[in-house]
Amino acid sequence: MSTISLEECESLDAPSSSCQCYADLCPLLYNSTAEREACFMQPCFISKRALEEPALIQITILYVLIFIIGIVGNLITCIVIRRHPLLQTHSSSYLLNLAMSDLVTLCVGLPFEVVMNWNQYPWPFPDFVCNLKGLVAETTSSVSILTILLFCIERYIAVNHPFVFVKLKPIRRQVCPILVVTWLVSIVCAVPFGYYHRADYILKSWPGTEDGQPFLFHFSAIVFFLLPLSVIFILYMLIAFHVITRRKRLRLTRADSTEEAHFRVTIILSSIVCAFFVCYLPYQAQRVMFFYLDPDSSLSQLNQYIYFISGLLFYLATIVNPILYNLVSSRFRKASKEVLLLICIGRREGSLSPSRKTTNTMKCAVKYTIASKHPQRCLVKHLSDSTII
């Protein structure tokens, strides 16, 4: 019985026939694992690059820009929050945590993503790097949504229940330990993702779904995306209703500018939530869609393109927050300019603007003493000075 050659397989007109020919012939021609795998590495099985070169170049340029802007923007955010007295508030700790999460995502995930697009198979790094990439991606996305949720809860209490907010001051001082807990919870929940996110080899195990994967991805989509965003949406509706109602009732004189500050906080946090939703929705949707699509259907091919779009948006989320802070918050812009000026010309930290929080707290104490008829207004004034806006 004569054996067909690889050249004859390649000459077959129908792509499906050619692929089946390779599948039948490779095990017959080669005995060693390396030779068989090299034989299987035909375009009908798996290609070296994830996309055609022109599209791949464009995506790579975008990734490089995201990496540079994200690293610079989030580093500046961290430096400004840590060094400027105007931002030495509990609320700023949430922004610092978001910036740190974005930096980890960029440093650990993005370089490997670029290399993987250019060298899709075989995986060019040690296998544990693939596990680490999956672990970090899931951890940082969970940290981000939990941080936003905690920040939203704090803002809701501060705006809608100011006296309760004051009573919770001992707890608010523990914001850093609370944020550490969010990292620990996120890491624990991400460990299974790190396990399943591993390099596949043609002759070892063909990439596919395993028993635990559907549950994990559905769990992540519900617990770390849909559920937190639903709670955040409800809380922000309550905040917006409270702020808008008071603005209409008081007609905001200068003395009532606290409500204006609360309104600005609501705007910037709403912007952060919207950006998170837009950037992470395709990421979560694509992962869930994978389990419901027939590999041979046209929708499966569409899901491949969604995969690259969702990956791009996933990393784009790391540069959005620093841009939003500077666009919406005049206080953050001022602090950024002063800290950058300090770094550039070497001025001492003591030359930075004094903390507005400290100054206004003193004013509040005096006002409460001489005008005890309005303790609530003074209290709310003090609360507004702890914001970042």
Q: What is the CATH number of the domain that holds 216?
A: 1.20.1070.10
- Of all helices (H) and strands (E), which one includes residue 219? helix 213-221
Give the phi and the psi of residue 322 in degrees, each rounded to 5. -60, -35
Whether the CB-CB separation of 359 and 90 falls below 8 Å is answered with no
The CA-based angle 270-77-281, given to 5 degrees, is: 40
Same structural domain for residues 20 and 67? no
Do 28 and 112 have their domain in common? no
pLDDT at res. 379: 42
**Neighbour-count burial for 48-84, b at 16+ CB within 10 Å, e otherwise:** eebbeeeebeebbeebeebbebbbebbebbbbbbebb
Residue 190 counted as domain residue: yes
pLDDT at 362: 31
- Classify residue 46: in a domain, yes or no: no
pLDDT score recorded for residue 382: 42
Are 294 and 339 within one domain? yes
Q: Which pLDDT does position 368 carry in this prediction?
A: 33
φ, ψ at 252 (rounded to 5°): 35, 85
Token pair 């779904």 is at which residue? Answer: 209
| pLDDT the model gives residue 125 | 80
* Whether residues 95 and 29 fall in one domain: no
Clarify whether residues 281 and 359 are in a common domain: no
294 located within any domain: yes
Q: By the 8 A CB rule, do 268 and 387 touch?
A: no
CB atoms within 10 A of CB 182: 19
365 and 247 assigned to the same domain: no
Q: Does residue 157 form part of some domain? A: yes
Residue 340: predicted pLDDT: 79
Tokens encoding 384? 């507004």
User: Given this model, what pLDDT does residue 199 score?
Assistant: 67
Same domain, 32 and 158: no
Q: Specify if 379 maps to a domain.
A: yes
Q: What is the amino acid identity at position 378? A: C
Q: Give the Cβ contact number of residue 112 at 10 Å.
A: 17
Range of the structural domain that residue 322 is part of: 53-350
Task: For 291-321, give the secondary structure using H, E and C.
Answer: CCCCCCCHHHHHHHHHHHHHHHHHHHHHHHH
The structure's pTM equals 0.76
* Helix %, strand %, coil % of the chain (to 5): 80, 0, 20
Give Cα 179 distance to the centre of its chain.
15
Complete DSSP assignment for 52-85 = -HHHHHHHHHHHHHHHHHHHHHHHHHHHHHHH-G
| Cα gap 108→220, rounded to integer Å | 20
pLDDT of residue 341: 82
Residue linked to tokens 């995306």: 225
Distance between CA atoms of 66 and 327, rounded to whole angstroms? 18
One domain for residues 69 and 106: yes
Q: 268: which residues sit within 8 A by CB, 6+ positions away?
A: 324, 325, 328, 329, 389
Distance of CA 305 to the CA centre of its chain: 20
Residues 289 and 265 in one domain: yes
Q: What is the pLDDT of residue 222?
A: 93
Q: Does residue 30 sit in the same domain as residue 178? A: no
45 falls within a domain: no
Is residue 178 domain-shared with residue 57, that is, in the same domain? yes
Q: Which residues of the chain have pLDDT under 50?
A: 1-6, 8, 12-18, 44, 205-209, 254-255, 348-350, 354-386, 388
State whether 337 and 359 are in the same domain: no
Residue type, 21: C
- Residue 184 CB burial class (10 angstroms; 0-12, 13-18, ≥19): exposed
Per residue in 330-351, pLDDT (tens digit) is: 778 888 888 778 777 765 444 5
Number of structural domains, the chain?
A: 3
Whether 199 maps to a domain, the answer reads yes
1: in domain: no
